[in-house]
Structures are given as structure tokens and as C-alpha cells.
Chain A
Amino acid sequence: MSTKVSVGLVAAVCLLALAVPLLHLQNPTIGSLGQRLLPPGSPGHLLGTDGQGRDLLSRLLWGLRPSLLSGLLPVAVAALAGGTLGLVAGLTTHWVHDVVMRTLDVFYAFPAVLLAIAIAAALGSGLSNAVIALSIILVPPIARVAETEAARLRSADFMLAARASGASWPAIVVRQVLPNAAPGIVVYCSSLIGLSIIYAAGLSFLGLGIAPPAAELGLMVNDLRQFIFNDPLLLLEPAALILVVAVLFNVAGDSLRGLLDHRMEVT
């Protein structure tokens, strides 16, 4: 898929999520019990209804919002924190480097999902706690990428040339390191968004994310799971949406990487 298409689709999904309140959808949290478990294609309920008779189209679209938020926000937070830590570790003394990187290695030692579950469980359920947990587990890998970039740049000749021209360290960090390290870090982070969306859905599936009756994709999967023998299509709807959105973000991230690699080739 070309870069324009994949980035365009991601942008479309984000715009759709932003526009949900303007769409005059049915109330996503109140249903009518007389109309429970309608199959997809029913009049008035295009994608069917859930066990409490709530319109699934409305719930899916409303559920997209917390899912996207918990995909994007943790990555942004972790990019800032991990990026800073990694660059600092990559550019300063051995001593600081070792303290920062070995501390992060401790976090790295735990499987990411388990660590996220542990942190979210310790903090208590809720969207903000899930975001905090995901932010924490995303810091170590991003910091590693940033540290590698900084180490690569540290030995770059143009850094030496900048020093030979009389540039101070702060000036070099701002003018040379940040612009040259940013593309690599941004591309890596873009590939983490899809992952973060899936982790977030997993947390709410386990009841560690946003609380019912609010709509959230992972929560909906859990909720509709019990009706898998009544109508498996209903369960497939939120599950497929999670998958499609995560894959979209991954493809967009990959094509960004392709752009960057191409540029590196030319340079």
C-alpha cells in the first residue's frame, strides 16, 4: 500500500473518531431490552445490537475514541520520556548511560503485556490508568532506539565538524542531534501505535481499562463473548475493528519507515 493511501486511511479513521459526537448516533449506553441481540442488517440497527439492546454501530464508533486515545497518547508520552532518556544516555558519560539503560533493562526484562497488566491492576481500572501503564511499558524500547540513534550520531563526522567549528554542546544537541535522531524515533514510535491499541483493548477486555457502561472495543469483545453461540458475527464486529485499526497504523508506520530508508539510501 502506498504511503499516501495508508496515511490517508489512518487520518480518515482519526477524523471519524473525532466526528462521532456530530453524527447523531443512537445512544451508545442505553438500549432497549426488547431489541437485544438483533443480527447485523436489522432495520434501525445496521450492525445489530448487543445483549442489552444497545446499537452496535453507535457503540463501535464511540468505542473507537478511547481505543485510539489509548493507542496514541501512551506512545506520545513514551516517545517524549523514552526519547529524552535515550538521547541523554547516548550522549552523556558512561556512568549516566549505564544507570539509565540498566534501569530500563529491568523494565525490559518483564514481558510487556504482563507488566502493563500488573501496573494497571495496581493503579486500579480506568482509562487514565491504562494509559499510564501503557506509557510506562513503551518507554524502554523507545529509549533504546533513541540511544542507538544518539550513539550513531555521536561518532558522526559532522558532529566533530560542528565541534571543530566552535559549536557548544547544547547548540549541537538542538541543531544536529535532534533533527537527525527524530526521524528514526518517530518511525519506530508510529509502529508502536498499533501495538498500543491492541494492548489497550487487552487491558479493557480484562476489565482493567475504561469501566462499563462506556463503549470501548476491548470491553465490547468481552461483553459479546458470552453470545458467541447466539450470533458470532456480533462478537466479530469489535474484534475486526481492533484488528483493522491496528493493522492500518502498522502499515502507515511501515511506509514511513520505507520513506526514511529511501532517504538514507540517497544520503
Chain B
Amino acid sequence: MAHPALTVEDLQVSFRVAGEEVPVVRGVSFSVEAGRTLVIVGESGSGKSVTARSILRLHGRNATLDGAIRLGDTELLGLDERRMNELRGARVALIPQDATGALDPLRRVGSQISEVLRHHGRAPSRAGGLAQAIELLRRVHIADPDRVAASYPHQLSGGMRQRIAIAIAISCGPRVLIADEPTTALDVTVQAQILDLLSELQERLDMALVMVTHDVGVAEQMADEVAVMYAGRVVELGPVDIVLGSPAHPYTAALLAAQPRPDVPRGALRPIPGVPPLPSRLAVGCAFAPRCDRRAAECDEVEPGLERSAARVLVACHRPIAMERTA
């Protein structure tokens, strides 16, 4: 069997802060096939962005990464920086959270796109690079690519800048695309356009997409599979319709209940009580136990492992929500 486009196995990430190792990601595993989308959801500090950035190995020197990250059959964690730089942008690319900050304010858009192409040897000449850049802008549905290519980032709208960031990300035809909250900086209508664009490009280019978001609605719209993260671990992983349709983990259920929806009347939102634990002060048992309404004695003693709860669904919980599933 062919390798999945991206495989992450037992990823552990810790940061050395003030002489102390703080574990931020604690044993995350998933894989994404070409053409499929995995959405990682979780609240701030759950380790979802750190996981996503680990795939590109973008952390500072104080980070320690353990486990395995494979692009196709290439293991990334052992690679030196030079080899890693050949892969970044070319085989795995990042769509940043805030495209406004992700573009160099001093340079024209066209030159920023063609620079990536030239860096990876995809454009032999400056003029050729610019022509390709304009073609890429057209592909992300920018109406007048020639004018935009000659513009500076501050002259463009937020949605346009995000499209440009996407154009840069897909410029070298990556097999894996990492999108770190690609729509949080945008208003809702633009957000929908950007998500549509991402789906379309993913299909056309047959890329594996890993998307990080705290917005369950975005996950429902985009995902084939969902990984719910809490305190540095995946607590539930499986096909989107099952995980978000009938969640087995109390945290997933709580996230859904805290989400505003058109069919739920005002005031019916149920926020999750308490705050997530600090990664430097994790207790022995289940990290979610203090906030969980299904907490039992064993939850405080043993951290539950990921176990199969239904066909294709993995859950880390001692007392998963009973299956009222029709299938």
C-alpha cells in the first residue's frame, strides 16, 4: 500500500522555558491521504498550532520534537536544515493565520510570490517568475492579477492578502498543505470564500490538507476527518460526521454545546466550566477530568489512552458517551 501523504506518529513536542521542559504536545498520531482533509479542533493552548507547525519544523531552538513525521516515505525529524528547507514550501507548505503579517510590507506581491518559485528552482528567470506569479493569482480567483502583482500588501484587502498567502503556499505544488487558522482574521463572508477556494484547490491539486481551527463550524464544512485536541493530546479522532454528529468524548460534546448555531435559540449556549490546565502543571489523570461532568474516580488516577470506540473512531476516555448511533 502506498504511503499516506502525511503520517504523524506519537509526536511529542516540548519547549524549554526558564530551564524547565514544558510538554505541549503529548503523543499525537494521525495520517492524511492525498486529497483528504484533516481538521484539528481545540481551544487555545490545546497544542493544535504547535502540532501543525511541527510538520514544517518551524519551532525555535528551545523545542524538542520526538516521534515520527513522514511526508510520503520521507522522515522529517532527522533531516538537517538544508534538506528541510528544500522541502518547506515545495512539498509541504503553510498557509499562515494572519496573511497581513505574513507578507513582507516592503515588497510587491508579485515579487514575493516569484521569490518562492525561484528559490525552489521553479522559475528560471525573473520575468518568468512574475508571469507564473500572475498565473497563480488568477488561480486563487483574483480578478485583476496584473495590478495586484504590482501592489504592496497594504494596498489590498484582508481577503485578497489571504488569497495571496494561499497562492504562495500552492506555488510549488506541495503534496501537503498546512493551514493554521486560515480564516480567523477575516470576516464571515470572506471566510466562506476562502474556505471554498481551499476546497477547490485541494481537489484540483490533490493535496492532503491539515487545517487547524477552533471553529467547529469550519471543521464541519471542511473536514473528512476530525482530530479533537485537548491539553496536548488527541482525545477523539474519526470521520467528521460521526465525531461531530454523535461525539463520544465529553470534551467534544462540550465543544459542540458551546458553539453558537442557527438552530439553537439564544441563551442556550453552554460554556465549558473552568479553564484548560497549564501544560507545565498537568495532573496524573485525565487532563479534562476537572471540567468534565462525567468524571469518575478512575479519571483522576489514570490518563485514558486512545481506544477504538466505533468503526474508525478513536476516543481517549474512561466513560465515553454511550453510543446512540444508528449504525
Query: In whole angstroms, what is the CA distance A166 to B88 when docked?
Result: 4
| Interface residue? A156 (CB, 8 A) | yes
Find chain A residues with CB under 8 A from B94 CB.
160-161, 164-165
Query: In whole angstroms, what is the CA distance A158 to B107 when docked?
Result: 11
Q: Assess the A161–B102 pair: CB atoms within 8 A.
A: yes
Q: Assess the B89–A165 pair: CB atoms within 8 A.
A: yes
| Interface residue? B61 (CB, 8 A) | yes
Find chain B residues with CB under 8 A from A44 CB.
none
Q: Assess the A157–B106 pair: CB atoms within 8 A.
A: no
| Interface residue? A42 (CB, 8 A) | no
Q: How close is B110's CB to chain A, nearest CB, in angstroms? A: 15
Query: In whole angstroms, what is the CA distance A171 to B86 when docked?
Result: 13
Q: Assess the A160–B58 pair: CB atoms within 8 A.
A: yes
| Interface residue? B96 (CB, 8 A) | yes
Query: In whole angstroms, what is the CA distance A35 to B101 when docked?
Result: 68
Q: Assess the B56–A164 pair: CB atoms within 8 A.
A: yes
Q: Assess the A157–B104 pair: CB atoms within 8 A.
A: no
Interface residues of A in 120-175 (CB under 8 A from B): 156-158, 160-168, 171, 175
Query: In whole angstroms, what is the CA distance A171 to B88 when docked?
Result: 14
Query: In whole angstroms, what is the CA distance A167 to B86 when docked?
Result: 8
| Interface residue? B324 (CB, 8 A) | no
Query: In whole angstroms, what is the CA distance A157 to B96 when docked?
Result: 8
Find chain B residues with CB under 8 A from A93 CB.
61
Q: Assess the A165–B119 pair: CB atoms within 8 A.
A: yes
Find chain A residues with CB under 8 A from B93 CB.
164-165
Q: Assess the B90–A166 pair: CB atoms within 8 A.
A: yes
| Interface residue? B198 (CB, 8 A) | no
| Interface residue? A179 (CB, 8 A) | yes
| Interface residue? B115 (CB, 8 A) | yes
Q: Assess the A166–B115 pair: CB atoms within 8 A.
A: no
Query: In whole angstroms, what is the CA distance A266 to B120 when docked?
Result: 32
Q: Assess the B105–A180 pair: CB atoms within 8 A.
A: yes
Q: Assess the B85–A267 pair: CB atoms within 8 A.
A: no
| Interface residue? B98 (CB, 8 A) | yes
| Interface residue? A176 (CB, 8 A) | yes
Q: Assess the B154–A158 pair: CB atoms within 8 A.
A: no
With contacts A157-B98, A165-B89, A168-B81 known, is A180 near B104, CB below 8 A?
A: yes
Q: Assess the A166–B101 pair: CB atoms within 8 A.
A: no
In the complex, which of the residues B58, B90, B97, B107 contacts A163, with contact meaning CB atoms closer than 8 Å?
Answer: B58
Query: In whole angstroms, what is the CA distance A149 to B106 when docked?
Result: 15
| Nearest A-chain residue to B104, judged by Cβ | A158
| Interface residue? B87 (CB, 8 A) | yes
With contacts A168-B81, A168-B82, A267-B105 known, is A160 near B96, CB below 8 A?
A: yes
Q: Give how many B residues have a beta carbon under 8 Å from the other chain's beta carbons.
A: 32
| Interface residue? B103 (CB, 8 A) | yes
Query: In whole angstroms, what is the CA distance A212 to B274 when docked?
Result: 78
Query: In whole angstroms, what is the CA distance A157 to B93 when docked?
Result: 15
Q: Assess the A161–B165 pair: CB atoms within 8 A.
A: yes
Q: How close is A167's CB to chain B, nearest CB, in angstroms? A: 6
| Interface residue? B168 (CB, 8 A) | yes
Q: Give how many A residues have a beta carbon under 8 Å from the other chain's beta carbons.
A: 20
In the complex, which of the residues B105, B106, B116 contacts A165, with contact meaning CB atoms closer than 8 Å?
Answer: B116
Interface residues of B in 86-130 (CB under 8 A from A): 86-90, 93-94, 96-98, 100-107, 115-116, 119-120
| Nearest A-chain residue to B154, judged by Cβ | A267
Find chain B residues with CB under 8 A from A157 CB.
96-98, 100-102
Find chain A residues with CB under 8 A from B85 CB.
166-168
Query: In whole angstroms, what is the CA distance A266 to B154 when docked?
Result: 7
Q: How close is A173's CB to chain B, nearest CB, in angstroms? A: 13
Find chain A residues with CB under 8 A from B119 CB.
165-167, 171
| Nearest B-chain residue to A180, judged by Cβ | B106
Q: Assess the B101–A156 pair: CB atoms within 8 A.
A: yes
Q: Assess the B96–A163 pair: CB atoms within 8 A.
A: no
With contacts A93-B61, A157-B96 known, is A164 near B88, CB below 8 A?
A: yes
Find chain B residues with CB under 8 A from A175 CB.
104, 115
Find chain B residues with CB under 8 A from A166 CB.
85-90, 116, 119-120
In the complex, which of the residues B81, B82, B168 contacts A161, with contact meaning CB atoms closer than 8 Å?
Answer: B168
Q: How close is B185's CB to chain A, nearest CB, in angstroms? A: 10
Q: Assess the B82–A176 pair: CB atoms within 8 A.
A: no
Q: Assess the B106–A179 pair: CB atoms within 8 A.
A: yes
Interface residues of B in 177-218 (CB under 8 A from A): none
| Nearest B-chain residue to A155, judged by Cβ | B101
Q: Assess the B89–A164 pair: CB atoms within 8 A.
A: yes
Query: In whole angstroms, what is the CA distance A163 to B105 when docked?
Result: 16
Q: How close is A158's CB to chain B, nearest CB, in angstroms? A: 5
Q: How close is B207's CB to chain A, nearest CB, in angstroms? A: 15
Residue among A158, A163, A168 with most chain B CB within 10 A: A158
Find chain A residues with CB under 8 A from B56 CB.
163-164
Q: Which residues of A contact B (CB under 8 A)?
A: 93, 156-158, 160-168, 171, 175-176, 179-180, 266-267
Q: Can you add 10 more A-B contacts, CB < 8 Å, to A158-B101, A167-B85?
A: A158-B105, A161-B102, A161-B165, A165-B119, A168-B81, A171-B119, A179-B104, A180-B105, A266-B154, A267-B153
Q: Which residues of B contact A (CB under 8 A)?
A: 56, 58, 61, 81-82, 85-90, 93-94, 96-98, 100-107, 115-116, 119-120, 153-154, 165, 168
Offer 13 A-B interface pairs, CB within 8 angstroms, sorted by A.
A158-B101, A158-B105, A161-B102, A164-B96, A165-B88, A165-B93, A166-B86, A166-B88, A166-B89, A167-B119, A175-B104, A180-B105, A267-B154
